[in-house]
Amino acid sequence: MLSPTSLLLQLLLTAAAATSASAFPDLPPPPFVNPWLSFQNLSGCHMGDERPGLADLKDYLSHFGYLPSPPPFSNFSDSFDEELDAAIRTYQRNFGLNVTGTLDPSTVDQMITPRCGVADVINGTSTMNSSFTRGRNLFAYFAGNPTWPPLKRDLKYALTATSNTAIDKATLSAVFARAFARWSAATTLTFAETESASDADVTIGFYYGAHGDGEPFDGVLGTLAHAFSPTDGRFHLDAAEAWVAEGDVTRASSDTAVDLESVAVHEIGHLLGMGHSAVAEAVMYPTIKTRTRKVDLARDDVEGIQQLYGSNPNFKGVAPSTTGSSPEMETSDGGGGGAGGGGRWGWRWLVVVAAVGLVRGESLLPGTSFF
């Protein structure tokens, strides 16, 4: 015979499943954690080890350019081999970590931080210029230094796929206008929104999972967005994120809240030809923590973009850093920290979390940890 707690759990899960099938038939199920959190189980691994999960780590490093893809019809192994050791050393060098080749805690912490989907190493060459003096000229460009042509300095952008986010169009327009303006202020470029995709140089959209460009999104956290180098013009955001478009993201109630404007400023840099920077203060740094706002161009960003497009004579210089953050958490409350795509899932997530809490005998009072 079921206990009262077990019976309540069964009823809650049944209600959640029914709501999912009837109210949200076309939406993918929301993941509950950062897809890279399992890397924490690999902390301490070094060359010569054999550990389940190393194949997934190799896939991660391959995605961001640190390892070549495995041969066709084959998979990565769980062996910590020389190639993995070399890849980790390059990763550590790019991010200013101790270069040990070992998966020490600081390296693992960096790897699980949400980030841009654009690779750090392209065709075997690091875009992060980590060999230079830290903090000086660490900006980088894509291979071949692609830019918008000299006669194309007035660019148009269109919001072409917004049905997967709960953020209203007016709010989105305001966020992206501010993000583009930060790059325009430092250069000779101008940007204007257009309603016509056919008239746009840049198209912006929110997508779930695989969406036709060969770079599928992975759900909450993990890869947040990606953009293509000039003159492709595509800019895609993961619709599963708890995007915050208004208010103070550092005070967001969602543990997985991500500041939309911060990510937009970064991805626009890619649209203009900027690669990733090894300067942690730069907006072109590959990673950003949850509940963090980082929208002001750093000196490294400005020097890089001005070498491509020239300087705006009215540019007033680099603003002091105002980045704010709080520690990341492992679970999400469904994106309640502002207008964001995760809000549609809020009730279902609450049901499941409540059910788990009841089974564990944990309190669900505000301010109480689930761990």
Return binding residues for Zn(2+): 116, 211, 213, 226, 236, 266, 270, 276, 284
Q: Which long-range contacts (CB under 8 A, 24 or more apart) does 206-214 make?
A: 206/161, 206/162, 206/163, 206/164, 206/165, 206/236, 206/237, 206/238, 206/239, 206/341, 207/161, 207/164, 207/236, 207/237, 207/238, 207/239, 208/27, 208/28, 208/164, 208/238, 208/239, 208/240, 209/28, 211/236
Residue type, 15: A
Q: Which positions make up the binding site for Ca(2+)?
A: 201, 218-219, 238, 241
Residue 267 bears catalytic tag: yes
CA distances from 42 to 5, 56, 58, 65, 78 (A): 35, 11, 12, 20, 11
Q: Where are the beta strands (DSSP E) in the chain?
A: 115-116, 121-122, 125-126, 154-161, 190-193, 202-207, 223-227, 234-238, 242-244, 257-259
Q: Which positions make up the binding site?
A: 116, 201, 211, 213, 218-219, 226, 236, 238, 241, 266, 270, 276, 284
CA dist 45 and 333 (Å) reads 32
CA dist 91 and 130 (Å) reads 10
**Among the options 193, 215, 267, 303, which is catalytic?**
267
Q: Looking at the annotation, which residues are catalytic?
A: 267
